[in-house]
Structure 1
């Protein structure tokens, strides 16, 4: 049966599309909830060519195997009105592919740190925007009530409504440390309220009242707010580490009493004595470098460099580390002059898009530009970067250089923003000290800079042909190796290394019928002792499930290896898995593919035992696991012949 015929037959035997309440797919199977069982024929589905197994455990699971399950899910999605959450392998998506490729390269410790910082602050951004806009409105009322303006009665500034507006606008900024502490604890798998206490501690007014603390014979100068949000993040992370350490060592009956008590007591002492002073020095150093050196001493050159180099930082995820810097500047000076300068980088991208649209002959490219340009004006730059300029190459560079001119202009006037979050034209209402016009002029300069440099030097039609191929109507799909992989060399013995460290368990012991019956292939399972997944062979990444819980790799000798972290972990939506590879990446044996939080998986009630299977087992004569009870990542796990 073709995938289309199989999809049609599955839907028919499930009682038709009107009987399907919910349909999702993971890396090996379709998961279906039906409205009524009366018209469902599971026996007929089991007999369909291509169906490996059918499991009925409330939710119906139809096992099709890696690769095929996505294609069949796509066919169901395209030929019915059923909303299927699938990863479309056949659709050419330049933006998604480019973004995934760059994200997959963010594997250094520094890049991972910035990614964690992004996860901490992104949930707070809507509140920052709302609070900033309210303060912006209050600011506008203040200006209009100025006696020199003569537009509003100055008495409005004493009204209850104005005072309430200003107070609500300041609420989040006054409690920002608490939210940052809570999000930090959640990001690293700790108790959120303890993270909130860490945030409260950093900003506790009593620290100012005490001033000097005598501890172990030392007089420590302490103060409220020392270390800023950087101190909050480090303190909350420390609380998480202490909490996990204590929890593993106390009896369950005493956990609720001792774990939080010891965490707060020990964590607070270390925070006041060690973290606050060090974080205070670091925060002051960062502020000194960006404000005093780059923007004040550097002048227009500093502004140009900051703006022109910002988007390269975005592509490697390092821009997330600037969010606490902006907020620290707002706390110290009332506004961040850094944000408007960096926002000019997006303006350069907008100008580059206009130049490309004018010069491009390829209609598909023009359509792409036309679709992403409006959001670019609103300060949402990712579709422009990952969808057009970065895949083309040179326009990304000219756009960055062009945006630098807007940053240079704004640096002359020290234009600031009263909150973080928006960019582009949307940032205009949030500009401090009524410098709206100057910011708008800076945007226009950045548009012009990106347009001129891209029009003159950044675009050639050959770039488009390289990306889309000679056929201007159809994009060129990525070249993928034909599955010579499926025709392994005869009688060649290959060792597959263990991707995990942990206890080895046979598949038939798993509480998952699909893996236990070897429906998708032979192999073994590992109960991991470390949350790191490594490549077991040299090969190509053929499948990466969006959640990060499952990765498929085809080895050089044709073994199709499925690495599945835990059982039913496709249902986990939190930041438990951290991917470092993308589909079609070439990997080497021992390369880090993914990290995962073992404790978080277990705490959510999932089995962390991880099947490692050869999904094209029929192509091999023998698949033999090592005769060991424990295996270390990188050592031999399977021998295939």
Structure 2
């Protein structure tokens, strides 16, 4: 995947940076909150190389990338002002839509930044529990004490982590939120849990445990955000910076102890008992629902609404019954795509199925399998639901649970070891894997026709690149940027422009029209790819002084106007206008010949990109 092209295509497709309220990413998706979803060109986004599919759910416009999503997210941060701040869950505008969608969006934004740390430490705890079970380590050693602290601390102090992400989401002061969370898990306060006769200025209250809690900190940070707005408005400027956090902490923490905490504990306890009742009285039903429908929840982004239930169940019962059947759901979809891998004759389908299978089984990342293969083929996805439901029901009957929050996957299985009926766990997972695999491999699916392979480059594939600018040709090595000067980004030439119009140098598809206007990527029908980068470091102008006339995916003819720029303004802003024009896929076009020199006008021959076949014949 070319991350920069994918990033540019996605950002263009969602309506540009100006249409984005916030952007975060999870394990496999870019999660946009758009100001106006009608401005998004979903077809163009789906057609962007590297994009698996698009899902619109939970108040978010979700672009599924797969395991490479952090790299695409980072590239979006380079070509726009989106990224770093919103990566931690901040939202510049409140999410739109109904109350349910807004709730899902809130939970997603608050939990996304902490999810992998939570899952990673949970997995470590699972491995540690397995080591104790198999007598590889004993609990009376300092080694165990250290490892237990490493694996247990994050879930214990979860309110502190959520105070930061919630503050960023609700636009509250992070450090005041941290002070509130710190008070909730302060050792002295924790020591008062369960003790009778507690009062605060004569007001009786019951101290509950805030270890691993979720609801109290989210609620109080939401209240904090509103209190801060009010206090900043009414307090004098000379004192509001230190008086505001003092007042907020003074009122917020007792409010949690006296009101919010006991109510949330009551609700959480009731919810935990409700979950326990289902798994006590109809465990097969609870297991079948979680095992069969979990991946459907994932498609619509609704699984985020269940994540707090996991932590609430753990807080109230010390175990998570809901997680066991989800292992069946995840491994069932991985098994279904493995069946596609075995049965498919289409080479492209096989090449997609192989990494999707490994990703699903080992890491529990099923989006590439679901969106790239199982869902488009329909039957494998349905077979996965069937296998997950049956396997989940069996695991539910076995009363299997986890003692740590983990992302269900093959590597996380130790989290279930020794917790419940292990025979039923093995049978349930076996059914979840074998049933969808055999159904997919034997019953099969409607396989897409094999696309004709592109013709290899030949002498006729040599490409004459016309000058896209009026200006003066200089050697690429004179470019004041090491990456271009040393040819790291490809061979070609550079031009010092004398006018502010950029034209297409050949008939092409716009591979990347950067929203910032500083660069254009073009792809010829024979496969040559050319990058035109106007000026050095001009991406920092964030689109100022550039007017892009084309969009990613658009077909253009040689001589078509691609963009206009104000060269004088760019130079006055302190940027060098030297413009490299390079061939970026040197493996297909390894040589550049017939380079122009001196003054050149747009439309005149600039250089010839020699195909690999021509180069071989010449050699």
State whether TM-score is above 0.5.
Answer: yes
CA deviations over 1:140-172 (Å, ceiling 9, x no partner)? 443344xxxxx87xxx54333233322333222
Q: For residue 223 of structure 1, report the CA deviation from its aligned partner.
A: 2.7
Q: Report deviation, 1:253.
A: 1.8
After superposition, residues 101-500 of structure 1 pair within 5 angstroms as 101=56, 103-104=60-61, 107-145=97-135, 157-203=139-185, 204-205=189-190, 207-208=192-193, 211-212=196-197, 219-225=204-210, 228-293=213-278, 295-378=279-362, 379-433=364-418, 439-454=425-440, 459-461=445-447, 464=448, 471=451
Distance 1:94 1:201, change over 3 A: same
The separation in 1 between residues aligned to 2:440 and 2:165, in whole angstroms, is 41
1:98 to 27, 35, 53: 53
Deviations 1:122-149 (Å, cap 9, x if unpaired)? 332343344334434443443344xxxx
Alignment partners' CA distance in 2, 1:329 and 1:24: 40
For the residues of structure 2 that align with 1:386 and 1:256, how far apart are their CA atoms? Answer: 49
Secondary structure of the residue aligned to 1:104 is strand
Change (3 A) 1:217 1:310: same
Cα 1:569/1:232, change in 2 over 3 Å: farther
- Show CA shifts across 1:214-241 (max 9, x none): 5798644443339931222212222222
The correspondence of residues 525-540 of structure 1 with structure 2, limited to 5 A, is none
Deviation at 1:300, TM superposition (A): 1.6
Compared CA separation, residues 26 and 128, structure 1 to 2 (3 A)? closer
> Aligned to 2:239, what secondary structure does the other structure show?
helix
SS in 1 for 2:418: helix
Separation of aligned partners in 1, 2:514 and 2:376: 23
- Are the counterparts in 2 of residues 308 and 400 from structure 1 also a CA contact under 8 Å? yes
CA drift of 1:374 comes to 1.1
CA distance in 2, matches of 1:400, 1:308: 5
- Structure 2 CA distance for partners of 1:218 and 1:266, relative to 1, 3 Å: closer
Change (3 A) 1:445 1:24: closer
Once the 2 structures are TM-superposed, how far is the Cα of residue 385 of structure 1 from its aligned partner? 1.3
The answer to whether the 8 Å contact 1:356/1:455 transfers is yes
Cα deviation digits, residues 300-321 of structure 1 (max 9, x gap): 2321122111111111212112
Query: How many angstroms does 1:407 deviate by?
Result: 0.6
Instruction: Give 1:592-603 correspondences, 5 Å limit.
Output: none
Provide, for residues 385-415 of structure 1, a one-character-per-residue CA deviation record: whole Å limited to 9, x for no partner: 1212223344323322221111111112222
Contact 1:416 1:431 (8 Å CA) reproduced? yes
| Alpha-carbon separation, structure 2, partners of 1:282 and 1:398 | 37
| TM-superposed deviation, 1:421 | 3.4
Q: List gaps (5 residues or longer) in structure 2.
A: 18-41, 63-95, 455-500, 502-511, 517-538, 544-551, 554-619
Say if 1:347 and 1:450, in contact at 8 Å, map to a contact too.
no
Q: CA deviation at 1:336?
A: 1.4
C-alpha distance in structure 1 between counterparts of 2:45 and 2:303, whole Å? 32
Residue 375 of structure 1 and its aligned partner are, at CA, apart by 0.5
Q: Tell me the SS of whatever aligns to 2:306.
A: helix
CA 1:273–1:161 in structure 2 vs 1: closer, same or farther (change >3 Å)?
closer
**Alpha-carbon contact 1:428-1:439 (below 8 Å) kept:** no
User: 2: CA distance between counterparts of 1:545 and 1:316?
Assistant: 30
| Contact residue 313 and residue 319 of structure 2 kept, 8 A | yes
Count matched residues: 399
Check conservation: 2:335, 2:433, Cα contact below 8 A. yes
> For the residues of structure 2 that align with 1:212 and 1:226, how far apart are their CA atoms?
22
Contact 2:395 2:424 in 1 (8 A): yes
* Paired residue secondary structure (2:358): helix
Structure-1 separation of matches of 2:328 and 2:403: 17
Give the secondary structure class of the aligned counterpart of 1:223. coil
1:448 offset after TM fit, Å? 1.8
Q: How far, CA to CA, are the matches of 2:146 and 2:260 in structure 1?
A: 36
Contact 2:52 2:368 in 1 (8 A): no
SS in 1 for 2:430: helix
Q: Helix, strand or coil for the counterpart of 1:336?
A: coil
Alignment correspondent of 2:32: none
The answer (yes or no) to whether the contact 1:406–1:442 under 8 Å persists in 2 is: yes
Residue 417 of structure 1: CA displacement? 2.0
Instruction: Give SS of 1:158's match.
Output: coil
CA–CA separation in structure 2 for the residues paired with 1:411 and 1:431? 12
Q: Please, which runs of 5 or more residues in structure 1 have no aligned partner?
A: 1-21, 31-64, 68-86, 146-150, 475-518, 520-542, 548-566, 572-582, 585-641
Q: 1:260 to 1:417 in 2, by over 3 A?
A: same
In 1, Cα distance between the equivalents of 2:276 and 2:514? Answer: 43
TM-score, scaled relative to structure 2? 0.55
Instruction: State the Cα distance separating 1:455 from its structure 2 match.
Output: 5.2
Distance verdict in 2 for CA 1:387–1:23, change over 3 Å: closer
**CA apart distance, 1:423:** 1.8
Q: CA RMSD in A?
A: 4.4
